[in-house]
């Protein structure tokens, strides 16, 4: 009797219960790597686009400093009216202040 039972025994193949889990892990890791690559590309793009803006702001700062120095020399030479000097000086000083603020924000955002 035991001999008949042993002959009728067949191997049953069960599906691997970890298959779904394995593919989920592979998909999650792949999605994370894709996100990392896109994030790095975005940072590089921002860094490259930020350099021309910074150079432009530095150029504006130099031009405004030169303008302020020019106004001072015109005032000392007496070639500019006092009211016009005050108006031009305040205008240039305010623009310089705005440029410096934008340069400061740009500097702080690139440090973090």
Is residue 14 included in any domain, yes or no? no
Residue with tokens 């008949």: 4
CATH of the domain at 105: 1.10.287
Dump pLDDT digits (tens) for 81-103.
989 999 999 999 999 999 999 88
For residue 96, what are the domain limits? 48-112
Is residue 81 included in any domain, yes or no? yes
Contacts of 110 (CB under 8 A, 6+ apart): 47, 50
Helix residue ranges, H only, the chain: 2-8, 19-77, 82-111
Is the Cβ–Cβ distance between 54 and 106 less than 8 Å?
A: yes
Dump pLDDT digits (tens) for 9-53.
677 777 787 888 999 999 999 999 999 999 999 999 888 876 767
Is residue 25 included in any domain, yes or no? no
Is residue 36 included in any domain, yes or no? no
């Amino acid at each position: 009797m035991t001999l008949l039972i042993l002959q009728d025994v067949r191997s049953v193949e069960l599906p691997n219960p970890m298959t779904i889990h394995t593919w989920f892990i592979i998909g999650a890791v792949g999605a994370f790597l894709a996100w990392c690559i896109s994030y790095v590309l975005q940072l590089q793009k921002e860094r490259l686009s930020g350099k021309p803006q910074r150079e432009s702001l530095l150029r504006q700062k130099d031009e405004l400093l030169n303008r302020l120095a020019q106004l001072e020399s015109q005032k000392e030479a007496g070639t500019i009216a006092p009211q016009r000097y005050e108006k031009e000086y305040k205008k240039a000083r305010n623009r310089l202040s705005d440029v410096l603020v934008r340069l400061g924000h740009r500097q702080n955002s690139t440090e973090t």
